[in-house]
Chains A and B, each alone.
Chain A
Amino acid sequence: MNDALAQGALRDSEFNRYSRQIMLNDWGEAGQLRLKNSRVVIVGCGGLGNVVASYLAGCGVGHLTLIDGDDVELSNLPRQLAFDIDSCGQNKADELMQRLYSQNDEVDIVIEPLSVDIDNVQQLLEQHNLVIDCTDNFSTRLLINDWCVTNQIPLMTAAVIGWQGQLLLVDPEMENGCYQCVFDTPSDSQQSCSTMGVNPAMVGVVGSYQANQSLRYLLQLSTPLSNKVALIDGITMGVNLFMREQNNHCTVCHPTLKQEET
């Protein structure tokens, strides 16, 4: 993160709009300028993406790229609150952008109505200060993690299923490993909302945590997710934080191992 992000000045309308957050001691005008000059990409515009994008746009993050190749379905509506019945059949990124512009037309939003894959990941994710993973499958999560580690771009990743949530930040300035250091061989046959179900309210809980910690990172404030993985239990209201360490056998953090594997 670069202090150059705190350069420039806020307009009177921005001071007015963001007054309740600027008054926070550790936010201030400098923090608001950092948000204004930040470029964030949100991969996945479903449940988590709805929540995270709404808070980041509302808070004045200057540029958002929204990526999702899926269309809105009726079964999305209980937990994807930016959409309504008229959204069904429309692209999620496009629908979300329209909702965000009605909330805050002072932010710049670009949409990419497609799925991230090995051929487009570089083009889609480069030129951003933070990548936020709100996807719904392991293969994309692993691809994004690999790209972010290779390119030294911070990655805020979260997932939700049933009554449970998980979050962690892959921080290039820390040496606590990556997503794959924690989960080395996840399979797409496991643990997705479509196969396991999800409590819609838990999507709001986990998405709010993800937005909150993303804002703290952009504001250059501490976040426990830099070196820990958080497990959120919607049944007990418990949050467990477990310290992460780099896995010496991780093929993402140790590219030479990847070369040996291939």
Chain B
Amino acid sequence: MSHKLSSQVLVNQVTPVDIESGVSTLNDIMNFLALESSSVAIAVNNVVISKSTWSQHTLSDGDNINVFGAIAGG
């Protein structure tokens, strides 16, 4: 019998992240990926999450997370 050892979220459709190893909020994701938070937005399950709530936004198993940076070229 197989069972799930940990919950995972998918980051930018390619990077599975174990959310039971200290990664539980969006702030944790940014630290885990070593991403600069300025000019970056995060969408969870296709909804942009305001940066002011990243530290309170708890991740759930199977969440689909997109991290994207602002671009300025015209």
Contact = CB atoms under 8 A, between A and B. Distances in A.
Interface residues of A, number: 45
A37 B48 CA distance: 35
Interface in A229-246: 229, 231, 240-245
Contacts, number: 102
Interface in B24-74: 38-41, 43, 46-48, 50-52, 66, 68-74
Contact of A198 (B38, B47, B73): B73
Interface stretch (A12-20, A96-104, A182-190, A213-221): A182-190
Nearest to B41: A182
A159 interface: yes
A186 B38 contact: yes
Interface in A137-191: 137-138, 141, 158-161, 164-166, 181-188, 190-191
B38 A138 contact: no
A17 B69 CA distance: 41
A186 B70 contact: yes
A184 B51 contact: yes
A228 to B, nearest CB: 9
Given A183-B41, A184-B51, A248-B52, A243 B46 contact: yes
B73 A196 contact: yes
Nearest to B68: A231
Contact of B73 (A184, A192, A229, A240): A192
Contacts of A250: 50
Given A182-B41, A241-B46, A188 B51 contact: no
Nearest to A249: B52
Interface of A: 44, 46-49, 133-138, 141, 158-161, 164-166, 181-188, 190-193, 196, 198, 229, 231, 240-245, 247-250
**Among all A-B residue pairs, the 7 with the closest Cβ atoms:** A193-B73, A183-B70, A186-B39, A242-B43, A249-B52, A247-B50, A161-B71
Interface of B: 38-41, 43, 46-48, 50-52, 66, 68-74
7 contacts: A46-B74, A134-B74, A191-B39, A191-B71, A192-B73, A193-B74, A242-B46
Given A135-B72, A160-B71, A240-B66, 8 more contacts: A136-B72, A160-B74, A181-B50, A184-B51, A185-B38, A229-B41, A247-B52, A249-B52
